Chain A
């Protein structure tokens, strides 16, 4: 019962948030310079005829896109469609935004999920090693590697890896369906590049945990290093990082444009950028709503996982905050 109430409460909050976000993005993109009609008509590279004809032509296009009414009316129309889970049609392809996003979501989900796994495993592995060797050469080496990864532009690493794995030793397929063969390299790139901050965070948190009394007590009981680090310190040390994981995952979901373009992935990040360049209003709004929704979902998930892992949270109902 409580869970049900919680979910309903969360749902209402999510709806309100989505509504506010939709209103904001709806207004903001219309305030941005540039007219979608220009993009649609400008695409043919030809400047012929006279301005009168062009104006007529623009009027026609504007009418086709439903942009010939006031912004308020446009918003109402859009909301009406949204109530039926219809985000409208793309100005460019004419296809429904829902299906366009659905087409691109698998690649993004796969990439984000896999990159997240890579990120977390690298961060955990190196973070633990660094924390156990605090201020010794291994720690310094890992710190150096971390700095290198952070400093490395993603397109550079992407291109270097492509050079190696697609050209020199062709084991990576640049074309084809969304599958492991296709995703491992971009996921690796993205995961590696986003891991250093998490790695540092894990290291610092673990080092702090090591000096806690329960670790000293655990050692005095005779517990081994593996159990102390792997279960006791890691469990407590990861708690504060959980929300960072949530934020990171949300970032990965919103799409990495550069990785997607370099590795030829049909993901939503690139879709969003192309839509923005073309002022494809419904597509931009749809993308923003999708990402907002994912972020809300992730937050809920992080909240629930806190409750799952931390008994103190579970028993005081902190998650509703």
Chain B
């Protein structure tokens, strides 16, 4: 084993929440070694992000290190007790950080070059021109195309992958020895994910970096790390070489993590791109719809209006999309981000006005309906969104949230409504005590259950699920998917399941559709 650059011993971190102390990390001890990638795995709330931030002294206001030590090789101080002044001496130079959403990691109002320049000027005097050349060289090593253009761009003008490369370039400007990567690829599309991981890997080798990869994705860890640390509830449960932990896990929790994956063939590089276009059948306009057709979409187009200074351009997002869903059927739609799958969901829910085509729900036309007419016609179509917490009104209790559709449509008397809410809550696996809490007081997984309960409360015939599990940890993902499937078999609703994750779609869908560049293709059943 090579010599450690960072030694953590019995590190404990606490949060003070309204006077009470909540332990976030308990006596964590591990080393980061030169030139090695260490993966820190755990589900959300396991304390892995807190631990990562603590290594840079970046705990936010309420967090404090209550014990233990953080020691950097070659420094005598125990950084667990360091103040801001001391931390500033090593941030950027000894240790650096990259974060989950690269576009949010960069200041939206500053050009990329200015953000690089301010970083270069932190520890040395650099002229603008010199800095420019250095920035160019850095971006080139990050394999960014047209680096000159990138330097002059604002973050919003770059794609997520490009941004993440820029972020990595910036974090390495002052040649730190340690890089903490906190879910560096989670917010990115699958195709880009692996590129970024490869890039990090090669940089690690080139610069002899010590990389701490914080992730909830055990596949990513398995692919990229030399060593793996598994965390749960603030405790390190298991650590060791990747081989050992992934293939011969000691701890039962690690085993359960591995089992949670919907498909066991991890690492086989599955994404929708692997389905070559030649095998796809374009969905036809004016297709023959079956008799028990629940939803019938015919020639649906949606154009997005971009208002310019004077003129208005329109960008086609959906182009002549046609498909149908039988009652009780689960249809999956997959596609990379920007392929129009979310737009399709919004069109079906009446949130966007379709430009062309028609939507039939149980043989009656719903496209073009507005306001209350649409809502009463379509109350049997219910949505479930990705950001469950964001979809819940933070000011209301869970009980009120679930009951709201009943109140709105005036179904049953109040007593019956509350009984129905309680019944549904049980069905989706929510404790009855949760009903009186507010969304901010429950976990993300619970939020998604609440969202499902709310969608099911008026017994819909069609659920439109837009990436319902993407924001969830793997273990919870599986629970939610299982829940949806069991509810489906019990209640018999149809489901349109939108995801970018082929594994998930494959696991639960009867038929799979693929969106690509605004068009819809059908995957032949033998594929």
* A contact residues vs B (CB 8 Å cutoff): 2-3, 5-6, 9, 134, 211-214, 216-225, 227, 232, 235-236, 239, 309-312, 315-321
Within 8 Å by CB of B107, from A134, A222, A225, A235, lies A235
Interface residues of B in 27-68 (CB under 8 A from A): 53, 56, 58, 60-61
Name the prevailing secondary structure of the A interface residues. Answer: helix
Inside 8 A of B99's CB, which chain A residues have their CB?
Answer: 213, 216-217
Whether B308 is near chain A, meaning CB under 8 Å from some CB there, is: yes
A222 contacts B156, C-beta separation under 8 Å: no
Inside 8 A of A224's CB, which chain B residues have their CB?
Answer: 88
Inside 8 A of A319's CB, which chain B residues have their CB?
Answer: 309
Whether B171 is near chain A, meaning CB under 8 Å from some CB there, is: yes
B104 contacts A212, C-beta separation under 8 Å: yes
A217 contacts B109, C-beta separation under 8 Å: no
A227 contacts B97, C-beta separation under 8 Å: no
Given contacts A223-B118, A236-B108, A317-B309, whether A217 and B156 have CB atoms under 8 Å apart is: no
Chain A residue at minimal CB-CB distance from B90: A222
B97 contacts A222, C-beta separation under 8 Å: no
Whether B413 is near chain A, meaning CB under 8 Å from some CB there, is: no
Within 8 Å by CB of B309, from A6, A211, A212, A312, lies A6
A222 contacts B122, C-beta separation under 8 Å: yes
B56 contacts A213, C-beta separation under 8 Å: no
Q: Nearest-CB distance from A234 to chain B (Å)?
A: 10
Whether B106 is near chain A, meaning CB under 8 Å from some CB there, is: yes
Whether B418 is near chain A, meaning CB under 8 Å from some CB there, is: no
B104 contacts A222, C-beta separation under 8 Å: no
Inside 8 A of B309's CB, which chain A residues have their CB?
Answer: 2-3, 5-6, 317, 319-320
A220 contacts B97, C-beta separation under 8 Å: yes
B104 contacts A220, C-beta separation under 8 Å: no
Further contacts, 9 of them, CB under 8 A, given A3-B309, A319-B309:
A5-B309, A214-B107, A217-B98, A219-B56, A222-B88, A222-B91, A224-B88, A235-B110, A236-B108
Chain A residue at minimal CB-CB distance from B56: A220
User: How far, in angstroms, from A318 to B312 measured CA to CA in the complex?
Assistant: 11
User: How far, in angstroms, from A232 to B115 measured CA to CA in the complex?
Assistant: 10
7 tightest Cβ-Cβ pairs between the two chains A and B: A222-B92, A220-B97, A222-B91, A311-B154, A213-B104, A317-B309, A317-B308
Whether B382 is near chain A, meaning CB under 8 Å from some CB there, is: no
User: How far, in angstroms, from A312 to B172 measured CA to CA in the complex?
Assistant: 27
User: How far, in angstroms, from A311 to B111 measured CA to CA in the complex?
Assistant: 9
Inside 8 A of A217's CB, which chain B residues have their CB?
Answer: 97-99, 105-106, 167, 170-171
B310 contacts A312, C-beta separation under 8 Å: no
Whether B247 is near chain A, meaning CB under 8 Å from some CB there, is: no
Inside 8 A of B122's CB, which chain A residues have their CB?
Answer: 221-223
Inside 8 A of B515's CB, which chain A residues have their CB?
Answer: none
User: How far, in angstroms, from A312 to B173 measured CA to CA in the complex?
Assistant: 26
Within 8 Å by CB of B60, from A211, A220, A225, lies A211
Whether B157 is near chain A, meaning CB under 8 Å from some CB there, is: yes
Whether B93 is near chain A, meaning CB under 8 Å from some CB there, is: yes
User: How far, in angstroms, from A315 to B306 measured CA to CA in the complex?
Assistant: 11
User: How far, in angstroms, from A291 to B106 measured CA to CA in the complex?
Assistant: 41
User: How far, in angstroms, from A312 to B153 measured CA to CA in the complex?
Assistant: 11
Can you list 14 contacts pairing A with B, beta carbon distance less than 8 Å? A2-B310, A214-B106, A216-B53, A217-B167, A217-B170, A220-B97, A221-B96, A221-B173, A224-B88, A236-B107, A311-B154, A312-B108, A319-B309, A320-B308
A312 contacts B156, C-beta separation under 8 Å: yes
B106 contacts A221, C-beta separation under 8 Å: no
Within 8 Å by CB of B154, from A213, A227, A235, A312, lies A312
Whether B101 is near chain A, meaning CB under 8 Å from some CB there, is: yes
A317 contacts B307, C-beta separation under 8 Å: yes
Chain A residue at minimal CB-CB distance from B157: A315
B88 contacts A320, C-beta separation under 8 Å: no
B118 contacts A236, C-beta separation under 8 Å: no
Chain B residue at minimal CB-CB distance from A210: B60
